[in-house]
Every structure is written in structure tokens, then in C-alpha cells.
Structure 1
Amino acid sequence: MVKEAILKTDKILKLEDARFGLDGCNIHNQAIASEWQGQVKDAKDASATTQENTPTCISLNFDDLKCFETVERQYESWGVIFHNSLAIQPSNPAFPTHSGLKVLMGSPKSGLLEVSFLRPVNWVSALVTSSQRLVLTAYDRDRKLVAQTVLPGSNLANSGSSIPPNTLLSIAANDIHHVSFSAFDGQFTLDNFRFCF
């Protein structure tokens, strides 16, 4: 079971603060998921196969994707399906990557990326870089709104924004079946996409 405290604040937390860094989340039993199942299988083989050792959080690695590959069911075995999503290796320095070479962006409809979970989750996060205000919305099985969080404005690199690129945007609620990332009339990238059951 994952124990988590949610900090309510109007201030965007910076990743440089060690207390709020991704590695400081203290998420136990996390699996780093990759499109290529061999890497993950090795990690799972090292632990017992009891329910207690089953990963409760999954972090997706996009570097095994091809550049400009449409991303939809590549991670279905991990319980997640993407909609309107494209893997890119950003050439624009305003959209830096955080941990690898590839990120996801909304395409063919720009400014929108949707995710469906095969079983309900209770926490979703990603590192986001956006040209506009970005809204992360969580929905239940019937597509009713359960929670929403916002990146209040642009956070492009070298733009003078007070919000750094690759800011952690997360949402926590019971029974999340779908999430959407939307930036009206804007572009954004996602890196380090994580979710917990």
C-alpha cells in the first residue's frame, strides 16, 4: 500500500527542492515500465511474485519508442492506453526532456492528450512543459469529473517564466479511470509519466 501526503498550495513546487523531487516521493514497489518488456521482466524476476511485492506504482520509459511514433497501446500490458499521443525527441530547446531523449505530446490534435487506465488508479503525475496554462483532469468510469489540477501558465525553457520546465503536475483521487491533459491553443510535452494503484 502506498502512503502519500498531498500538499495543497497555490505555489508551484520546484523540482530542485529535494523534498519534492521525484526520487523523494518514497513510492515503494515501483516498476519502471518500458515498451520493451524484457527490461521490466528482469526487474520483476528479482522479487517474489506475491501480491505484496507486486508494483503499486508504474513509471513509463518513453525512450524505447520511435520518434514520431503514435502512442496508444504500447503500454497496455501495464494497464494504460494513450489517446491522441505522439512520441517525439524535441528539437525545440524550449521543450527540454528530463530523463531521456523522448517525451509525449498531443497529436494530431495539439493541446490535448488523454489516458485511460484498465483498472482504477489513485495517483497520476508527469513532468510537464507547456506553452500555455495546462489543465490535468481526472475522471471516473462514467467520465464524471473527480479532480483537477492546473499548471497556471507557460513554463518553456529560457522564457523568463517563474515556473521551470519539466514541472511535476500530479493529481490524486479515488477511482481514476481516465485523465486528460489540455492546453487551449497551446503545445506541451510529458515526461516521467507515473501512476499508482
Structure 2
Amino acid sequence: MVKQATLQSNTVQAFEDAKFELENCDVQNHNLVKASASRVQFEEVVDNAEFVVPGCICLNLEDLKCFESVEHQYEHWGVIFHNTLAIQPSNPAFPTLSGSTVLMSLSKGGFLEANFLQPVNCVSAFVTSSQRLVLSAYDRDRQLLAQTILPGANLANSDSAVPPNTLLSIKAPDIYSVSFCAFDGQFTLDNFRFCI
């Protein structure tokens, strides 16, 4: 069973009690689109007369090249990344959840940011980290809305009580950006998802 850590508003759920429930992001009540980095695939979907604006978007990272800097590849889906790199982990301590490609911080500072072109109300990703990781959500004026915390390292083949690829999600109205910070640690993100 996968564990999830969630913090909404100014309250903290007990990490051990949280359940793997994507309905925290209203996924079951919206259309879910697996978003490709390829602009061609996006144009084909838009040209389809049955296209419905998705409620939730899950990024397909498999179109990215290993060691590719990720910034504007998903801009047509409404998100721009900063300080982000696509990798195919060779270190078994950082397993992928699905596919072979994940996102990680470009620098040793352990900081990755996603900015949304339109406000969203929920963001989630499966994370594996070498130490404590904080997911923070901000409004249009960069005021902190909420935070979710992975309390410690969750590397594979370690003695951590938290398994690798643990779901972190954050929910608040009018999220314009989120940041993942591992305070000089390393971490990976898989199945990055946001809901409008």
C-alpha cells in the first residue's frame, strides 16, 4: 500500500494515517489527460471536435530525453518548470513508479519549481527523496497557501518506514506555483499531476 502525506490549509494530517486517495485532488470528478511534452500530440487533441477541457492533467515524462532541462515543454498544458531536469535513474535508491523517466532538481540545492499559467486547486507527485522534502503552494503574489512535508528520506533499500514513490499532494484555491525543496538533498518526482 502506498502512503500519502497531505497538508491542507494550516492543518497537518498524521503521515501514518493518510491514505492513497487521489480523490483529494478531485481526479474522479474530472477528465484526466495524460499530457505529452510533444506539441504535435497536443495539436492533434485540440483539433479533435470532441476535445473537453481536462479537469486534471498528469504529465507524461516519457517523451523527455534523459538529462534534458525541463522548462517550457508542458507550457501548452499550462505549467512551466524551473530548475528541473529529466533523468532515467541509474541509482536503485531512486526507483521510478511508472515508465523510465522522472524529474529532479537541476542543482545540488534540492529545489524545483512549477508555475501555472492559470490557477489550479490541487498538485500531486510521487516523490523519492534522500532527506526531508517540503512541497509548498503559493498564490499569485507568492504568498504561502499551504505546505506538505515528507518527514524524512524514503530511498529504496533503506530502513525508512516510508516507501519510495510516496504520494505528496497539496490542495488550496488559486495555486499559481509550487516548489519542492529537499534542503541540499536529492529527490525525484514521478506522475506530476495538477487539477484545475
Q: TM-score range by the shorter chain?
A: 0.7 to 0.9
- Letter aligned with residue 37 of structure 1: R
Over 2 Å off, 4+ runs: 6-9, 11-14, 19-22, 37-49
CA shift for structure 1 position 25: 4.8
CA shift for structure 1 position 21: 6.2
Q: Point out which structure has higher relative CO (alpha carbons under 8 A, 6+ apart).
A: 2
Kindly indicate whether residue 115 of structure 2 is the aligned counterpart of residue 113 of structure 1.
no
Deviations 1:110-129 (A, max 9, x none): 31000100010000000000
CA distance in 1, matches of 2:27, 2:187: 24
Gaps of 5+ in 2: 1-7
Kindly indicate whether residue 137 of structure 2 is the aligned counterpart of residue 138 of structure 1.
yes
CA shift for structure 1 position 30: 1.0
Q: Does the CA contact (< 8 Å) of 1:32 and 1:40 recur in 2?
A: no
- The alignment-based identity, stated in percent, is 62
Q: Does the CA contact (< 8 Å) of 1:138 and 1:176 recur in 2?
A: yes
- Letter aligned with residue 58 of structure 1: I
Seen in structure 2, the aligned counterparts of structure 1 residues 109 and 141 have a Cα distance that, compared at 3 Å, is farther
Q: Does the CA contact (< 8 Å) of 1:84 and 1:109 recur in 2?
A: no
CA distance in 1, matches of 2:66, 2:56: 26
Q: Does the CA contact (< 8 Å) of 1:72 and 1:85 recur in 2?
A: yes
Structure 2 counterpart of 1:26:
28
Structure 2 counterpart of 1:122:
121
- Normalising by structure 2, we get a TM-score of 0.86
CA distance in 2, matches of 1:27, 1:166: 24
Q: Does the CA contact (< 8 Å) of 1:98 and 1:166 recur in 2?
A: yes
Gaps of 5+ in 1: 1-5
Supply the RMSD in Å over aligned alpha carbons: 2.3
Q: Does the CA contact (< 8 Å) of 2:27 and 2:55 recur in 1?
A: no
